[in-house]
Amino acid sequence: MPPVRISRRAELLLPGAGNTRLVISGRMSDVCAELDRLAALEARQGNGRG
């Protein structure tokens, strides 16, 4: 079994951009590492929300 499993699901109920749900499952340390990786990628791309 892979350490981390990532699923992306489009939310069809709400039209517009940014309506994708991300489901990450696996060992807590692997999930946290993946969240850190995604946060760094988002910061580099300048897509922060705050």
| pLDDT one-digit tens code per residue, 6-49 | 887 766 666 665 667 788 899 999 999 989 998 999 899 886 55
CA-to-CA dists, residue 42 to 4, 19, 21, 23, 27, angstroms: 19, 16, 16, 17, 23
Q: What is the pLDDT of residue 20?
A: 73
Q: What is the pLDDT of residue 21?
A: 78
Strands, E assignment, the chain:
4-10, 20-26
Q: What is the pLDDT of residue 28?
A: 92
Interacting residues of 21 by C-beta distance below 8 A, sequence separation 6+? 8, 9, 10, 11
Are 24 and 39 within 8 A, CB to CB?
no
Q: What is the pLDDT of residue 9?
A: 72
User: Whole-structure pTM over 0.85, yes or no?
Assistant: no
What values do phi and psi take at 10, rounded to 5? Answer: -75, 135
